């Protein structure tokens, strides 16, 4: 199977590309590294079944040759990213999704959408089943991501009803693991970075708000299972084990042996208080459920971060006093560093790698 993966240079996208190659598929990775990282796909460039295209999918999605499936993952996904890039986030959720759907339509290809648990907003129902319609502030600061994904789901379902596109929708809950950026502002990456650099771990509110953390390998297995099916869904993909933010902080401090203190800050606007998926539908229809517990997953993630000490040092200042999916991190003054990614035929493609806090327009 030949699969086009938008956002394939990102945290989740690069793991999906790798998993597809490992099982014998061919992959066309599309990314403009707005929030991705060229290093994520650098080991894949020599693979004969891997192709890279530098592309802003909000503008166009063009893939030559056969396409059997399209996995649409392109989008800023951490709040600091989408709060810095609100219009770009809306564009990739709307125009970008439509462009990816048109690619699937042209090739009669399977299409899967990486949606999000954020479509539930600050839920009034707990835990969250796919039948819950959500509690979203449509004009709040987080709405640029929430509503972009809600629109993406709506247009994907409309393409299935109108044109018969073989659409599948995954609602992804908090996912963590190697290749997360130390400065991305998510709670797991921030806690690990702060613990390893001796910075205080910053918690919003009393730390009693909950999240359900799924290790990236488990999540990717769910995406592949959805890709291989003909089901629409939507399917919640996440770990149903609920943990408080304070509990996570304690695990990270113990695992790293850090002496970092914990500091509390006021809860930001529209921050969800509780988040936990019901995954019965994914278990019964896709045969999927997470297998890696948080201790094992965090151990692997801490090892990855510890092996990239230079990145930790560069990111520590940018996340000081900010974490957990809410606060837009200040853009760093470090300029973008041009890099070269060779294409499949040996032609060089110029890209820019985002330094901590820096952004590139697009999805």
Active site residue 304: no
Secondary element (H or E) of residue 171: strand 166-172
Q: Which two tokens stand for residue 336?
A: 């973008």
CA distance 8 to 38: 10
CA distance 363 to 361: 7
- Out of 82, 145, 176, 215, which one is annotated catalytic? 145
CA distance 39 to 127: 37
Q: Check whether the bond before 306 is cis (ω within 30° of 0).
A: no
CA distance 27 to 216: 19
**Do the beta carbons of residue 190 and residue 245 sit within 8 Å?**
no
Q: Which residue has the tokens 């820019």?
A: 352
Q: Among positive and negative, which fits the CA dihedral 79, 130, 222, 294?
A: positive
Q: Which residue has the tokens 């590309």?
A: 17
Q: Is 102 exposed, middle or buried (0-12, 13-18, 19+ CB in 10 A)?
A: middle
CA distance 7 to 81: 14
Residues annotated catalytic, as ranges: 145
């Amino acid at each position: 199977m030949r699969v086009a993966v938008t956002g394939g240079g990102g945290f989740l996208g690069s793991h999906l590309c790798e998993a597809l190659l490992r099982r014998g598929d061919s992959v066309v990775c599309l990314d403009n590294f707005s929030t991705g990282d060229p290093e994520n796909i650098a080991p894949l460039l020599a693979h004969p079944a891997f192709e890279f295209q530098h592309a802003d999918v909000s503008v166009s999605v063009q893939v030559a040759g056969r396409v059997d499936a399209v996995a649409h993952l392109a989008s800023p996904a951490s709040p600091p990213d989408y709060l810095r890039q609100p219009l770009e986030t809306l564009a990739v959720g709307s125009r970008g999704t439509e462009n990816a759907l048109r690619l699937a339509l042209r090739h009669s290809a399977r299409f899967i959408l990486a949606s999000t648990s954020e479509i539930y907003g600050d839920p009034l129902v707990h835990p969250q089943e796919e039948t819950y319609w959500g509690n979203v502030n449509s004009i709040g600061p987080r709405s640029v991501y929430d509503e972009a994904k809600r629109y993406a789901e709506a247009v994907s379902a409309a393409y299935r009803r109108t044109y018969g596109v073989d659409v599948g929708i995954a609602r992804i809950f908090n996912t963590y693991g190697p290749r997360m950026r130390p400065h991305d502002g998510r709670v797991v990456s921030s806690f690990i970075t702060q613990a390893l650099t001796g910075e205080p771990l910053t918690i919003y509110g009393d730390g009693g708000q909950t999240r359900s953390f799924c290790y990236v390998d488990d999540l990717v297995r769910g995406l592949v299972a959805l890709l291989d099916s003909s089901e629409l869904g939507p399917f919640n993909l996440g770990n149903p084990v609920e943990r408080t933010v304070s509990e996570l902080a304690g695990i990270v401090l113990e695992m790293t042996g850090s002496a970092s203190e914990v500091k509390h800050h006021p809860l930001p606007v529209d921050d969800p208080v509780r988040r936990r998926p019901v995954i019965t539908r994914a278990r019964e229809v896709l045969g999927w459920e997470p297998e890696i517990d948080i201790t094992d997953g965090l151990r692997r993630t801490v090892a990855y971060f510890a092996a990239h000490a230079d990145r930790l040092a560069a990111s520590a200042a940018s996340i000081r006093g900010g974490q957990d999916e809410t606060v837009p991190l200040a853009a760093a003054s470090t300029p973008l560093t041009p890099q070269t990614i060779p294409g499949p035929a040996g032609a060089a493609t110029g890209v820019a790698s985002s330094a901590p806090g820096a952004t590139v327009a697009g999805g």
